[in-house]
């Protein structure tokens, strides 16, 4: 049975992802604010069945208490000890099942030390593609800031996500796409796929549509943080920072520093 996946906008640029089954039950991912979730459920006469958390930042966890007061549902999240409402702590290699769909847990430290992502490998069925709920590790056209980890951690985490199947649908937690692609265009000026993507995503936002989900294939073509072995990108970034960048990690570190300063 296919999942219906919907974005619930929150704050100025967050998405709380809702996974719905045919019986009207819903899991939500990273509910930083309970109010839009409660409104969304009530308008559709749906029932909250569970909560998935990727990391401990408040804009991803701030709605937990109010939602649990509404319904005492299971809460899954990283086993870092930062989220008191968890009753299912998850680590690398764990698996959970959401409405009959298996999700593999991957640890992706960098943004926070205990960040996890939820990956559903999909199947041969047309309505069951691979799915990735990646919080603030991978963004459309970018990646998360490094708050608790270090560049090697984040680089390795992104390399793992880059190796997922190309058809994987990428559900990140923020509508940062246009700003990310503007930065990407400045660092990867000869990338025709990136120019095309900017036009496509700008058109979506002009019609007040989300730019998400993305796909791993699209990110590999247009996201500089997943293209750190691309020669033309390497040349362009070396010119900007006025030094040689001999490894993918060195290029990633320079890119992340440039983005932090943008």
82 is catalytic: no
88 is catalytic: no
CA–CA gap between residue 226 and residue 154 (Å, rounded): 11
The label of the residue with tokens 């959970």 reads 96
The sign of the CA dihedral 104, 58, 170, 15 is positive
101 is catalytic: no
- DSSP E strand boundaries for the chain: 4-10, 14-20, 25-29, 47-52, 75-78, 88-90, 95-98, 101-107, 116-120, 131-135, 138-139, 142-143, 169-172, 214-215
Q: Give the active site residue among 33, 59, 114, 188.
A: 59
CA–CA gap between residue 90 and residue 110 (Å, rounded): 17
115 is catalytic: no
Reply yes or no: is the peptide bond before residue 131 cis, omega within 30 of 0. no
Q: Give the active site residue among 30, 56, 101, 111.
A: 111
Q: Give the active site residue among 60, 101, 115, 120.
A: 60
214 Cβ partners below 8 Å, 6+ apart?
140, 141, 169, 170, 172, 177
* Intra-chain end-to-end CA distance of the chain, in Å: 44
Q: Is 247 left (phi over 0), alpha (psi -120 to 50) or beta?
A: beta
Q: Are 9 and 21 in contact (CB under 8 A)?
A: no
60 is catalytic: yes
Q: Give the active site residue among 33, 114, 136, 188.
A: 136
Q: Give the active site residue among 55, 56, 101, 115.
A: 55
123 — phi, psi (to 5°)?
-150, -175
Q: Give the active site residue among 56, 101, 115, 174.
A: 174
CB atoms under 10 Å from CB of 185, counted, come to 17
Q: Give the active site residue among 56, 57, 115, 120.
A: 57
Question: Which active-site residues does the annotation give?
Answer: 55, 57, 59-60, 111, 136, 174
């Amino acid at each position: 049975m296919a999942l219906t996946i919907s974005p619930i906008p929150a704050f100025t640029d967050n998405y709380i992802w809702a996974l719905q089954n045919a019986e009207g039950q819903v899991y939500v991912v990273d509910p930083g604010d309970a109010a839009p979730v409660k409104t969304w459920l009530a308008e559709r006469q749906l029932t909250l069945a569970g909560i998935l958390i990727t990391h401990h930042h408040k804009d991803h966890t701030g709605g937990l208490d109010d939602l649990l007061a509404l319904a005492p549902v299971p809460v899954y999240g990283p086993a870092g000890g930062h989220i008191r409402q968890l009753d299912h702590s998850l680590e690398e290699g764990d698996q959970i099942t959401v409405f009959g769909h298996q999700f593999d847990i991957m640890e992706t430290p960098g943004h926070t030390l205990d960040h996890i992502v939820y990956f559903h490998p999909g199947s041969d069925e047309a309505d069951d593609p691979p799915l990735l709920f990646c919080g603030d590790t991978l963004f459309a056209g970018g990646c998360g800031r490094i708050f608790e980890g270090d560049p090697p951690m984040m680089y390795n985490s992104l390399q793992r996500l880059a190796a997922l199947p190309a058809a994987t649908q990428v559900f990140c937690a923020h509508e940062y796409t246009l700003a990310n692609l503007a930065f990407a265009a400045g660092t990867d000026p000869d990338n025709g796929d990136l120019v095309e993507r900017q036009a496509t995503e700008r058109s979506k936002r002009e019609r007040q549509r989300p730019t998400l989900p993305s796909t791993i294939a699209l990110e590999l073509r247009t996201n500089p943080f997943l293209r750190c072995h691309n020669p033309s990108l390497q040349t362009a970034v070396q010119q900007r920072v006025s030094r040689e960048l001999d490894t993918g990690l060195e290029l990633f570190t320079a890119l992340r520093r440039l983005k932090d300063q943008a």
